[in-house]
Structure 1
Amino acid sequence: MAKGSVKRIAGQNAQTIKNLRIGMIVPTVLSLVLRFIFRRSSLPPSKGSLFIYVLTYLPALFLSRYLENIGTSRRDPTTGTILSSGEDLGQPGVTEWCFDIIYVTWACEVGSGTLGEWFWWFYLVIPFYAFFKIWVKFIYPMFFRKSSTPDQTAADSDKPLSKRQEKLQKRSERGDPRVQRGPRK
């Protein structure tokens, strides 16, 4: 059962890495073609637009290489069996955010080729989203969370307890060692 999961993840990662490699080339070529079709006056690109392109392409290249490294399966050189499937590239969290940054970069490349250099302003979505996540997860709960007042704690103690909570409370009053008093270490 576990080997099936390892093979499935390895297969999905191989397909994702293949798409990622193709995706690092296609938006650049597409941007140049669209620039040639819709905006011939912007050929060759200005130094500023080349600088922006390189400045945004480097993080995307770094992240794509990072995803390739963590997602590549490890095989036994003699037998060819899969030793490790690599990290699941479909998992949420940091992996998902890496893909989001790469996708925004690709969209900005194609959009700037079609509509103009102003499209690179959409790249600011990345730091705004990062700030939003930091605000929601850390800053707001730490500094702006309402502290409980004595009235709230009294109201909380008036709430009816479930049967399990009543049992645990009675056990703790008797000094039962099965009930832990305080945080676990």
Structure 2
Amino acid sequence: MANASAKKTAAQNEKTIKNIQLGMLVASLLSILLRLLFRRNTLTLSFRTLLTSSTYLITFYISRFLTNVGTPKRSASGDLLSAGDDLSQAGMTEYLFDILYITWGCQVGSAAVGDWVWWSYAVIPLYAGYRGYNLVSPFLLGRPAAAGADDVPPVEPTSKRQEKLRKRNERGDPRVKTQQRK
């Protein structure tokens, strides 16, 4: 029997998988429909058409991967055996969703306003390079990961009462007795 957390994850995954399937359908049909209506010249066999159709394959494989890892497994009686991987987790899953959304936007945008929209697809490798540089640069350049982290002494959190007592002590108020720490 699955616990409440697994059931919640399974329900979220099922909703997310339906949204992926709907997004695939809407983006693909809208892109093809807009090309048929406004940009018939882009439907001829060319390098541009091959690139555009390759993005359909990319979105298909990413959506299939997310569907496979996120689909909850159920027994024959309908009991939840496994919730599947959490599709709302950060990391690689999040990046795959970003790639899906950017690709769908480029597909529909290029069909609606022109092929120059595909330049926004360059965001994916640029961001990957940025993340990779931030991961590797501390080791290559020999500097700490957080710049200036060694310069600032750690500040102990204080309550309002502690802050008030510290100010009284600095003024030399006789009501405050100073104790030395050992």
Q: Pick the TM interval, shorter chain.
A: 0.7 to 0.9
Aligned to 2:140: 143
State the match for 1:80 in structure 2. 78
Residues 116 and 46 from structure 1, CA distance in 2 versus in 1: closer, same or farther, beyond 3 angstroms?
A: farther
- SS of the residue corresponding to residue 88 of structure 1 reads coil
Q: CA deviation at 1:82?
A: 0.1
Moved over 4 A (4+): 159-162
Q: What is the identity, as a one-letter code, of the residue corresponding to 1:73?
A: P
Change (3 A) 1:39 1:86: same
Q: Structure 1 residue 123: deviation in Å? A: 1.1
Do the aligned partners of residues 160 and 48 (structure 1) sit closer, same or farther apart at CA in structure 2, a change above 3 Å counting? Answer: closer
2:28 maps to 28
1:34 is aligned with what amino acid?
L
Q: TM (normalized to structure 1)?
A: 0.72
Aligned-residue Cα RMSD (Å) equals: 2.5
Question: What's the CA shift for 1:3?
Answer: 1.5
Match of 2:39 in 1: 39
Letter in 1 for 2:115: E
- Secondary structure of 1:86's match? coil
Cα distance per residue 1:22-56 (max 9 Å; x no partner):
2112111111222344435x253442222111222
State the number of aligned residues. Answer: 151
**2:143 & 2:18 partners in 1: Cα distance?**
49
Q: Which residue of 2 aligns with 1:128?
A: 126
Question: Over residues 53-77 of structure 1, what are the superposed CA-to-partner deviations in whole Å (9 max), with x where a residue is unaligned?
Answer: 1222222211111111110111112
Quick one: distance in 2 between partners of 1:160 and 1:39? Answer: 61
Cα distance between partner residues in 2 of 1:112 and 1:100: 18
- TM-score normalised by length of structure 2: 0.73
Gaps of 5+ in 2: 145-149, 157-181
Contact 2:106 2:118 survives alignment (8 Å)? yes
Matched, 1:96 2:94: yes
Q: Deviations over 1:60-105 (max 9, x none)?
A: 211111111110111112x210011011100110100010111111
1:160 and 1:121, CA in 2 relative to 1: closer, same or farther beyond 3 A? Answer: closer
Identify the structure with the greater helix proportion. 1
Q: CA–CA distance in 1 between the matches of 2:154 and 2:83?
A: 50
1:131 and 1:80, CA in 2 relative to 1: closer, same or farther beyond 3 A?
same
Please state whether the residue corresponding to 1:142 is helix, strand or coil.
helix
